[in-house]
Amino acid sequence: MAKKKEAWLLLLLLLISVSVPGLQVWALKPPFHLRDVLPLLPRQVSWPIMTRLHSAVDILPVFVGAASSPDNVLEWKGACFYENKAWMVFHNKSQTEYGGGTLHIKVSNAHSWTCMDLYIFATPYRVTWDYYFLAREHTLEIKAWEGKAEYDYVKNHGLSIFLLQAGMLGTLQALWEVFPLFSNTGWGENSNINFLEKHMGSSFEVRPQPWVTNVSADDIHSGDFLAVSKIRGRWGAFETLEKWVSGAYAGHTAVCLRDANGKLWVGESGHEDEKGEDVIALMPWEEWWDFELTKDDSNPHIALLPLHPDLRAKFNESAAWEYALSMIGKPYGYHNMIFSWIDTLNGNYPPPLDANVVACVMTIWNQLQPEYAANMWNEALNKRLGTEGLDLPEVLVEVEKRGSSFDELLTIPEQDDWVYSDGRSTSCIAFILEMYKEAGLFDPIASSVQVTEFTIKDAYILNFFENNSSRLPKWCNDGDTVKLPYCQIKGKYRMELPGYNTMQPYSHMNERCPSLPPKYSRTKDC
């Protein structure tokens, strides 16, 4: 009986949320919309609908435009109010050198009586927000500009407006989708799996047990590649988002090396040291493997990708060791981490992401944690401009002065020989590919390949790896009914690496590649 009542209630709300013939008032303006009242329904009714209407990506704002003078009125359609206008009026009520301004926003034609729109407003120097429930003209006061730079920027380019398109309840629902991604629980693991299935089209097929392979280290050689996929906890969430934007089906990597005595080591950029900092490290295989088996609580799935015999014969171990030893203890490559993903003006941003949203997020981060933000991208942005010491607002202003744009700045390829304040910067995959470069695997085109532009996907699709399954170790995929072309050595779910081992390296590889889900198709010779 309870289920019947809930079904009738849902049907009634659906009728209310559309125009009902014969009911003149409701046809003009429905008092409720299904999305607005879903949280009031019993959870077993509302939850399946809400999870289909909203997901974690709905937490991202959408850039609707920049408001400038009354002579150039910005117009757009909101999530609640379908007709919106905005313009900026400059004034000097504060009696300061550059004065302030009033943003006027006129909202009208709401889809229901109970909805509201949420907005974020940003310049390179400030971020604020507001919400609108009533159909009328609203104002946002900026008492005084930070100085001439902000005044000139807004005068010339306007104040950026971002819509939280899911509305208040949808945004809260999106937060509820994001939060469990970081949870180091079964709930968190399932949330990461569901996100990747929904937004990437990935599949998580359960492998036959045992889910850990009895690996013989004697069969592992210098240059062999380790692809790691973590699916729970802090790193699981980070990797999930990284996979979504880049199209990679692994989120971390490491590389194997044998020393002159034949001892097997693992090189890794992103190893957490005793201070809790992520650094580049070399550790014995036994120590690394034991950590992954017993101490890594992110439920890592690991695949070993053996080098092709021809590449193994070409691999210069002494040069690889010289490079690896020169990098030990250096910080993980935060400086250039995001730049391997962004190659094009609009072909790398899964909706609703775009360069404006990236700039907005950077600005917010810069306000909350300026030191961390500076480490993440400020130096890299300065490298691209050929400047030194500019903070994020100054970078944004400098770009506009040069007649360029922030989205163009983000697409400038990273250069492997750039040296940052704390040394050369390499992410987990750049560290390995730089080692491959030093070891001769990219010859004779090594000088024209910037490996800091490679994502993890770009690395595992290189045709560097074993292509004859009969030469794989006997324990490779032991017990699995599906024989992968690589060796999965840990994990409940079968690891996918689409495009594995298929692409010949070429000059300026991966400097102009699109990467949009769900297919993540790349153009030829990008």
Residue with tokens 């072909």: 347
pLDDT by residue (tens digit) across 210-220?
999 999 999 99
Q: How far apart, in whole angstroms, are the C-alpha atoms of residue 350 and residue 336?
A: 20
pLDDT in tens, 147-197: 888 999 899 889 999 888 766 666 666 666 677 888 889 988 999 999 999
User: What average pLDDT score do residues 469-482 get?
Assistant: 90
Of 45, 32, 112, 48, nearest in space to 79 by CA: 112
**φ, ψ at 11 (rounded to 5°):** -60, -45
Mean pLDDT of the chain: 85
Q: Region of 403 please: left (phi>0), alpha (psi -120 to 50) or beta.
A: left
Check if the beta carbon of residue 478 is closer than 8 Å to that of residue 212.
no
Q: How far is it, in rounded angstroms, from Cα 138 to Cα 477?
A: 63
Pairwise CA distance, residues 196 & 236, whole Å:
11
Assess whether pLDDT exceeds 60 at residue 7.
no
If you compute the radius of gyration of the chain from its CA atoms, what whole number of angstroms results? 26
Residues 23-70 pLDDT 10s: 333 334 444 444 554 444 454 444 454 445 445 555 677 888 999 889
- Sequence-distant (6+) residues with CB within 8 A of 163 are 61, 62, 64, 76, 78, 79, 117, 118, 119
State the pLDDT at residue 369: 67
| Mean pLDDT of the 509-522 span | 92
Q: What is the rounded distance in angstroms from the CA atom of residue 297 to the CA atom of residue 232?
A: 8
Domains for the chain: give ranges and CATH numbers.
54-168 (no CATH), 185-335+421-488 (3.90.1720), 343-409 (no CATH)
Q: 326-383: per-residue pLDDT in tens?
A: 999 998 888 888 888 899 998 998 877 778 878 877 877 776 667 766 777 889 999 9
Residues 6+ apart with CB under 8 A from 345: 355, 407, 408, 411
Q: In the chain, what percentage of residues exceed pLDDT 90?
A: 55
**Rounded to an integer, what distance in angstroms lies between the CA atom of residue 215 and that of residue 402?**
56
Residue range 268-272: mean pLDDT, rounded:
91
pLDDT of residue 368: 62
Tell me, what's the pLDDT at 42? 52
Task: At 188, give phi and psi (nearest 5°).
Answer: -65, -40
184 three-class SS:
coil
Residue pair 327/424 in contact (Cβ under 8 Å)? The answer is: yes
523 burial (CB, 10 Å; 0-12 / 13-18 / 19+) is exposed
| Structure confidence at residue 63 (pLDDT) | 87
